[in-house]
Structure 1
Amino acid sequence: MYKVRLAIASKGKGKSGGARVITFVKVIKEKVYLVSIYDKGQLDNLSKDQIVELLKKAGLI
């Protein structure tokens, strides 16, 4: 699983006020799954338990 911070130029706040992209790489079939994208101004962070729940709902774990 990878968490990446992205700047949103229109907000003018750099990475700290941008978005977060959470991806999960499943090597078996060479696929990358997008788990979540959220604006850090609306949600500070997803907990490990929340991410695990998202992965379970998607059938990835």
Structure 2
Amino acid sequence: MRLPDRRTIILMPRLVPYPVLARKVRYWMERRWRGWWDRWRVELPSPGPLPAVSPIQIAH
């Protein structure tokens, strides 16, 4: 069974003891949020690549 495209399940184990069925927010379609996330903010550096981790490091 699949959820409709506009629905999602939210898990908040410390706040709510059960999953919550919620409506997805499509911020790019909401007029009040338009332009907020169109570009990366200049004052913050863009995130770099994550360092590679070997399987031996993960096992320990």
User: Which has the larger helix fraction?
Assistant: 1
Q: RCO greater where, 1 or 2, for CA within 8 Å and sep 6 or more? A: 1
TM bracket (short chain): under 0.3
The TM-score normalised by the length of structure 2 is 0.26
The TM-score normalised by the length of structure 1 is 0.26
User: Which has the larger strand fraction?
Assistant: 1
